[in-house]
Amino acid sequence: MRVVLAEDLALLRDGLVRLLEAHGFEIVAAVDNGPELLKALVEKNPDVAVVDVRLPPTFTDEGLQAALEARRRVPGLPVLVLSQYVEQLYARELLADGSGAVGYLLKDRVFDTDQFVEAVRRVAGGGTAMDPEVIAKLLTRSAETAPLEQLTQREREVLELMAGGRSNAAIAKQLFVSEGAVSKHTTSIFGKLGIMASDDDNRRVLAVLAYLGA
């Protein structure tokens, strides 16, 4: 069974490589950043990917975003997320297509190697492996975050960059689009989140608060 592994901590990455190889897996790539992960997933087309969420260069959600992009390019690509964090927005997107072959485990709640190896095999076989704590966090505030689910992938990217304090000009530059396009996306975001124009409130700040509260 062929595996692509993404983990930025060298000792943990090497440990996972040794563990998986000891259980008969073939590690076709072991990378430490988002761009290399996406390249490896698309080019190697592994039986399963084991990825951390937060990878260089920004240590936010590069691993999960690379996995999502790879699944768009290679539909059904099995992905097991192994992380210290629950990134709710992207975790929901990972599960959204309902095709299975996904997993999300928390590093500090993997209590033995057999549990982990079994999860890797299950995801590779088209099943799911979800930590109960991840499920609980995804269900929490599901009603509150429903408006965010209406956003397109591009709108989510724009909102995420807004939350990082970027101006429309900076967002346009990073996403390689015009400022006019960014303005249209922000207007759409405000509408979907139910944030109406007001002299008393800053719609941009309210949208970011909605994103951070998800």
Each residue's pLDDT tens digit, 46-56: 999 999 998 98
Q: What is the pLDDT of residues 163-213, one digit of tens each?
A: 888 899 999 999 999 999 999 999 999 888 888 877 655 888 888 877 776
**Alpha carbons 33 and 77: distance in angstroms, whole number:** 19
Task: Please check the confidence at residue 144 and state whether its pLDDT lies above 60.
Answer: no
* Cβ density class 126-147: b for 16+ within 10 Å, e for less: eeebbbeebeebbeeeeeebee
If one compares 144 and 146, the residue with the highest pLDDT of the two is: 146
If one compares 29 and 165, the residue with the highest pLDDT of the two is: 29
Three-state secondary-structure class, residue 141: coil
Lowest mean pLDDT, pick from 129-143, 148-162, 168-182: 129-143
Contact present, 26 and 1 (Cβ < 8 Å): yes
Query: Please, which pLDDT band fits residue 80 given cuts at 50, 70 and 90?
Result: very high
- β-partners of residue 128 are 102
**Alpha carbons 213 and 184: distance in angstroms, whole number:** 23
